[in-house]
């Protein structure tokens, strides 16, 4: 079952605010529904970054913000 783009944005926003865990983000990104090409590319990049064993939440913040913006703009 896919997650709606709105739910993806919500989960990413919660993560930035410290109210969601990385596992929640991974789950939301597993099947993010219909996204524009830019947002889909950023989601794939974010998945790869999360899979890296040595990534910290702080390192993910710029990419998460960019992903939220792309989804919100329908890119």
pLDDT at site 2 = 73
User: What is the per-residue DSSP string for 21-54?
Assistant: -HHHHHHHHHS--S--HHHHHHHHHHHHHHHSTT
Distance CA 27, CA 33 (A): 12
Distance CA 8, CA 13 (A): 8
Show the domain range for 13: 5-72
Identify the band that residue 1 occupies on the pLDDT scale cut at 50, 70 and 90.
low
2-59 pLDDT, tens per residue? 789 999 999 999 999 999 999 999 999 998 888 999 999 999 999 999 998 788 889 9
Tell me how many helices (H) and strands (E) the chain has. 4, 0
Q: How many domains does the chain have?
A: 1
For 11, the 3-state DSSP assignment is helix
């Amino acid at each position: 079952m896919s997650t709606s783009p709105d739910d993806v944005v919500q989960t990413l926003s919660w993560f930035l605010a410290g109210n969601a865990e990385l596992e929640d983000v991974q789950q939301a990104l597993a099947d993010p529904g219909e996204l524009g090409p830019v947002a889909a590319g950023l989601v794939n990049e974010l998945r790869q970054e999360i899979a890296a064993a040595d990534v910290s939440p702080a390192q993910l913040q710029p990419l998460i913000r960019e992903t939220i913006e792309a989804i919100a703009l329908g890119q």
